[in-house]
């Protein structure tokens, strides 16, 4: 009997969730239709793709005239035959007999040669020069990478050609290989084309296509995720079976003249946090950063006119009286359209700025803005007061709602426990907000939003020393909110508590040390100097177990535990990292006893320490010197007793070099 379950999971009879066409189908019929079209596109794609690849390879091979190959081979033979080495040879310059010359002859396709001399630079190589012993390198990164190793998929086969490494035992820890699960551009093209056909030809909505569950990934997971979103992050492959038709705007790029939509789609790609330069950032996902615009103005025309400021020129709106209001007329509708679009994105831009964007006189723009946003359409409950910050007439200022710190009694937290940012939408209350419960401020990366009363609003210090609330709470000062200390780094003397963000490191060099490679100071360092940010792949602690064959075999591990709320986050700088991965554990070179003869502890011998810091909503591990370090000395950390318990110090830790 035919299934009566519909595609959205409702029972037969309730078709309201399906669009008009697809409501004629049952769930089974729709799924079958989806699968049939999916197979059809799959078949077409793979009929086309190998043919196309063959053609490209053929075209790359270039054309040769008959007989040309033989002629060319003859020339090569002549070159290789020492008896005929007349054209390409070493000679001495008769004017300067000590300067050897190399005569090079280039042959064209016809076998004709042109000879010319090349001067040779002599390089003398020290015969005692010793090649560097083998070491493992890794790709450099400047920030940690999330999900570098997918839990049950092996990223690669380590030491695959070394007999002693237990490859099979190691691979038993994984269910698959990462390359079997990774993104496949071909299948993405096929899925996108299937969606297009189902949507445009069979008139099935994107939501209902998702409900068919025929693709591994949802089409629209959020405004920043899903197959359709990802498709816009890549160049689109053009193939005869695929068309880039509009899918009711669901999969299409906005039209070139639709400024607002274009900005919205670009915004989805970039991080909304102005202090973060990362594309596709996943840390600062504020829910309120949806599409641009739609905002209503908060500043009245009247208050703009009364605001303080210099006129931007002779035609500035500030120099214009009321009588000018009826005298402006723009003939070209597209000029008005541009102004409307800009105002829809940023309704409170000042006329002087609008004038620059619209290429129009400032006072004309002001008049047009007054028509588009007459003062009576302003919010009655404007939270900032309609004068914004531009007013000089305090009498007319509304009683604005000042941002309140309602948790003032516990705002100065002595203890700081680095935590994940909270993930719920505001407001932050005891029952559901981890920040509230832990007696700490919400961070920029908290999902509760920038208007949350609990949001940290930056320090007020001019110089950030140990009593600065940011320093005290192991957080770097934030450009934009810590305004007095030059956290932005605009001056020659920027805030010292932003060194990690500014990558203001001391210089180190990596060279041979007692245990493998080590990091050495290339300049004298003072206590408290910043060395770098320990970066790597972000893993959970169970990866330590999964990768134990590799760390035991190499005798090296680059794990660094993170003190997050769950305590199970790790950084692994073995596959990717920067210079900080080479800091060895003290004692490494020397372990001289103290003057009274008592041995020094590891921590005393170390000259660097690691500190977990909250930087721009993310936890980082910064390395700092703890004492003066002379140029040329090795930088040493104390790894802590746990490190050696886990790895077994001395068991397998033969010095890898020396």
Ligand X SMILES: C[S@@+](CC[C@H](N)C(=O)[O-])C[C@H]1O[C@@H](n2cnc3c(N)ncnc32)[C@H](O)[C@@H]1O
Residue numbers at the binding site for ligand X (CB under 6 A)? 515-518, 555-558, 581-582, 584-585, 588, 647, 653, 656
Between 518 and 537, CB nearer to ligand X = 518
Between 517 and 531, CB nearer to ligand X = 517
Between 370 and 584, CB nearer to ligand X = 584
Shortest reach from residue 647's CB to ligand X, in Å: 6
Q: How far is CA 267 from the centre of its chain?
A: 14
Residue with tokens 């450009």: 479
**How many angstroms separate the CA atoms of 536 and 306, rounded?**
54
Angle between helices 333-345 and 259-267 (to 10 degrees): 30
Token readout for 60 is 């790359």
Between 486 and 572, CB nearer to ligand X = 572
Between 241 and 555, CB nearer to ligand X = 555
Shortest reach from residue 557's CB to ligand X, in Å: 5
Between 495 and 621, CB nearer to ligand X = 621
Radius of gyration of the CA atoms of the chain, in A:
34
Shortest reach from residue 550's CB to ligand X, in Å: 11
Shortest reach from residue 640's CB to ligand X, in Å: 12
Shortest reach from residue 583's CB to ligand X, in Å: 6
Q: Please say whether the dihedral angle defined by the alpha carbons of residues 292, 294, 298 and 300, taken in this order, is positive or negative.
A: positive
Between 211 and 581, CB nearer to ligand X = 581
SS3 track for 608-646: EEEEEEEECCEEEEEEEECCCECCCCECEECCCHHHHHH
Judge contact between 654 and 555, C-beta under 8 A.
yes
Transcribe 264-312 into DSSP letters. Answer: HHHHTTB-S-TT---BT-SS---TT--SS--PPP-S-HHHHHHS----S
Shortest reach from residue 606's CB to ligand X, in Å: 10
Shortest reach from residue 468's CB to ligand X, in Å: 31
Shortest reach from residue 581's CB to ligand X, in Å: 5
Residue with tokens 């899925």: 191
Shortest reach from residue 517's CB to ligand X, in Å: 4
| Of 230, 228, 235, 232, nearest in space to 205 by CA | 228
Cα angle 624-629-632, degrees, rounded to a multiple of 5 = 115
Shortest reach from residue 573's CB to ligand X, in Å: 7
Judge contact between 242 and 60, C-beta under 8 A.
no
Token readout for 269 is 């790609």
Between 197 and 556, CB nearer to ligand X = 556
Q: Please say whether the dihedral angle defined by the alpha carbons of residues 384, 385, 390 and 391, taken in this order, is positive or negative.
A: negative
SS3 track for 442-491: ECCCCCCCCCCCCECCCCCCCCCCCCCHHHHCCECCCCCCCCCCCCCCCC
Shortest reach from residue 171's CB to ligand X, in Å: 23
Between 38 and 623, CB nearer to ligand X = 623
**How many angstroms separate the CA atoms of 31 and 16, rounded?**
18
Residue with the shortest CB distance to ligand X:
516
| Of 289, 611, 285, 538, nearest in space to 422 by CA | 285
| Of 519, 536, 522, 524, nearest in space to 606 by CA | 519
Residue 41's Cβ-count burial label (10 Å; 0-12, 13-18, 19+) is buried
- Cα dihedral 406→408→412→413 (10° resolution): -50
Shortest reach from residue 510's CB to ligand X, in Å: 9
Residue 136 contacts by C-beta under 8 Å, 6 or more apart in sequence? 554, 556, 574
Q: How far is CA 325 from the centre of its chain?
A: 48
Between 72 and 644, CB nearer to ligand X = 644
Between 421 and 536, CB nearer to ligand X = 536
Distances (CA, A) of 51 to 40, 87, 158, 487, 589: 18, 45, 36, 57, 62
Between 605 and 613, CB nearer to ligand X = 605
Write the Ramachandran bin of 294: left for phi over 0, alpha for psi from -120 to 50, otherwise beta: left
Between 488 and 581, CB nearer to ligand X = 581
Between 413 and 585, CB nearer to ligand X = 585
Shortest reach from residue 95's CB to ligand X, in Å: 52
Shortest reach from residue 158's CB to ligand X, in Å: 15
Judge contact between 280 and 272, C-beta under 8 A.
no
């Amino acid at each position: 009997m035919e299934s009566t379950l519909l595609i959205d999971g409702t029972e037969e009879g309730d078709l309201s969730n399906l669009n008009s066409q697809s409501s004629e189908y049952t769930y089974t019929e729709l799924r079958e239709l989806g699968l049939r079209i999916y197979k059809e596109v799959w078949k077409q794609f793979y009929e086309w793709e190998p043919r196309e690849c063959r053609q490209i390879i053929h075209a790359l091979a270039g054309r040769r005239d008959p007989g040309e190959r033989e002629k060319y081979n003859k020339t090569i033979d002549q070159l290789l035959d020492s008896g005929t080495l007349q054209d390409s040879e070493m000679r001495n310059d008769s004017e300067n007999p000590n300067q050897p010359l190399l005569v090079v002859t280039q042959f064209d396709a016809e076998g004709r040669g042109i000879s010319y001399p090349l001067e040779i630079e002599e390089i003398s190589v020290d015969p005692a020069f010793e090649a560097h012993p083998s070491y493992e390198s890794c790709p450099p990164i400047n920030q940690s990478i999330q999900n570098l190793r997918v839990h049950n998929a092996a990223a690669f086969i380590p030491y695959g050609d070394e007999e002693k490494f237990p490859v099979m035992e190691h691979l038993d820890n994984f269910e698959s290989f990462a390359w079997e699960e990774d993104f496949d551009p071909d299948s993405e093209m096929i899925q996108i084309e299937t969606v297009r056909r189902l949507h445009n030809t069979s008139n099935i909505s994107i939501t209902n296509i998702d409900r068919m569950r025929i693709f591994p990934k949802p089409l629209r997971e959020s405004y920043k995720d899903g197959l359709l979103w990802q498709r816009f992050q890549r160049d689109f492959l053009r193939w005869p079976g695929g068309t880039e038709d509009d899918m009711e705007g669901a999969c299409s790029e906005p039209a070139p003249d639709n400024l607002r939509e274009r900005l919205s789609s670009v915004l989805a790609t970039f991080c909304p946090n102005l202090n973060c330069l990362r594309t596709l950032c996943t840390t600062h996902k504020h829910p309120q950063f949806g599409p641009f615009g739609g905002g209503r103005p908060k500043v009245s025309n009247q208050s703009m006119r009364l605001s303080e400021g210099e006129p931007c020129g002779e035609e500035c709106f500030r120099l214009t009286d009321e009588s000018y209001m009826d005298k402006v007329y723009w003939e070209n509708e597209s000029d008005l359209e541009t102004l409307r679009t800009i105002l829809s994105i940023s309704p409170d831009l000042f006329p002087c700025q609008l004038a620059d964007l619209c290429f129009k006189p400032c006072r004309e723009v002001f008049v047009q803005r007054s028509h588009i946003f007459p003062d009576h359409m302003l919010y009655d409950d404007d939270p900032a007061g309609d004068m914004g910050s531009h007013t000089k007439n305090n009498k007319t200022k509304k009683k604005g709602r000042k941002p309140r710190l309602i948790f003032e009694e516990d705002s100065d937290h002595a203890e700081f426990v680095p935590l994940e940012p909270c993930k719920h939408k505001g407001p932050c209350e005891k029952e559901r907000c981890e920040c509230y419960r832990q007696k700490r401020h919400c961070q920029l990366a908290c999902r509760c939003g920038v208007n949350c009363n609990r949001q940290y609003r930056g320090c007020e210090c001019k110089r950030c020393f140990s009593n600065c609330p940011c320093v005290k709470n192991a957080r770097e000062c934030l450009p934009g909110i810590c305004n007095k200390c030059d956290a932005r780094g605009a001056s020659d003397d920027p805030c010292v508590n932003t060194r990690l963000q500014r990558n203001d490191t001391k210089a180190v060099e990596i060279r041979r040390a007692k245990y493998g490679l080590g990091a050495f100071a290339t300049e004298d360092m003072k206590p408290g100097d910043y060395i770098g940010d320990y970066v790597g792949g972000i893993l959970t602690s169970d990866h330590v177990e999964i990768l134990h064959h590799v760390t035991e075999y190499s005798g090296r591990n680059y794990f660094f535990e993170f003190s997050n709320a769950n305590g199970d986050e790790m950084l692994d700088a073995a596959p990717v990292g920067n210079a900080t991965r080479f800091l060895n554990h003290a004692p490494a070179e020397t372990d001289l006893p103290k003057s009274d003869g008592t041995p020094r502890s590891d921590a005393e011998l170390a000259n660097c320490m690691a500190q977990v810091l909250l930087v721009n909503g993310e936890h980082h591990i910064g390395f700092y010197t703890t004492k003066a370090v002379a140029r040329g000395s090795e930088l040493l950390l104390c790894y802590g007793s746990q490190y050696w318990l886990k790895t077994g110090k001395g068991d397998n830790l033969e010095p890898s070099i020396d």
